[in-house]
């Protein structure tokens, strides 16, 4: 089915995390792939049901740390051996033991900054607007005591009528259409 214009998806509200996880597992088994759970606190079963296992932040942190290490050693080598060489007491121009402490500090700095910025970028933040903010029940209960499952309209399995029937079979408190 083609995506209806102006529709983000269907949002089902549940009172318990178990009911939301049960609906999420059933949706995954029914072939839905574009869905998200929203809870007021972390629910590990929901992450498992969504089959969320990709996390690129550690890789980005490692790459940032390696870039910091390389930058520090390159900068110190360039300054001490190429740009401003000074033969002091016959010591070698490239004295790598002296470079370890600053290189370590740059590694930590670059790794920390790349972890923070990659986490923000991969989460799509800052995001001052999301279509779910249009759903009145989401604004009231998402951070307090309600659990939500949103099936997005961009999913190939999404059909407004069939998807609504599918979500209502789990005795959701409400199933609302979310506008863009």
With a CB cutoff of 8 Å and minimum separation 6, the contacts of 150 are 8, 9, 10, 11, 12, 35, 36, 37, 38, 132, 178
| 31 shares its domain with 85 | no
**Is residue 2 one of the residues assigned to a domain?**
no
* 174 is a domain residue: yes
Please report where in the chains the tokens 């890789």 appear, as a residue: 59
Tell me, yes or no, whether 45 and 65 share the same domain.
Answer: no
Residue 137 and residue 48 share a domain: yes
Residue 20 lies in a domain: yes
Confirm whether 164 is domain-assigned.
Answer: yes
Range of the domain at 30: 7-52+130-179
Q: Is 1 inside a domain boundary? A: no
Q: Do 180 and 29 meet the contact criterion of CB atoms below 8 Å apart?
A: no
Shared domain check, 46 and 135 = yes
Residue 64 inside a domain? The answer is yes
pLDDT in tens, 72-126: 999 999 999 899 988 888 888 888 888 999 999 999 999 999 999 999 999 888 9
Place of tokens 């079979």: 169
Shared domain for 115 and 64, answered yes or no, is yes
Residues 37 and 94 in one domain: no
| 19 pLDDT above the threshold of 80 | yes
Number of folded domains that form the chain: 2
Q: Using one digit for the tens of pLDDT, what is the confidence trace for 135-147?
A: 888 888 788 889 9
Q: How many Å apart are CA 57 and CA 15, to the nearest integer?
A: 32
């Amino acid at each position: 089915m083609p995506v209806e214009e102006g529709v983000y998806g269907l949002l089902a509200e549940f009172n318990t995390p178990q009911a939301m996880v049960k609906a999420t597992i059933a949706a995954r088994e029914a072939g839905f792939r574009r869905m998200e759970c929203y809870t007021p606190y972390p629910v590990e079963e929901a992450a498992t049901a969504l089959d969320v296992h990709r996390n690129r932040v550690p890789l980005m942190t490692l790459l940032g740390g390696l870039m910091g290490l390389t930058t520090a050693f390159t900068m110190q080598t360039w300054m001490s051996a190429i740009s401003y060489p000074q033969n002091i007491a016959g010591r070698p121009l490239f004295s790598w033991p002296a470079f370890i402490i600053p290189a370590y500090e740059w590694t930590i700095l670059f790794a920390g900054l790349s972890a923070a910025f990659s986490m923000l970028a991969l989460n799509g933040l800052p995001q001052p607007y999301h279509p779910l903010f249009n759903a009145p029940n989401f604004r009231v209960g998402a951070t307090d005591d309600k659990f939500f499952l949103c099936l997005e309209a961009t999913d190939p399995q999404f059909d407004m009528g069939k998807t609504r029937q599918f979500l209502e079979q789990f005795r959701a408190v409400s199933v609302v259409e979310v506008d863009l």
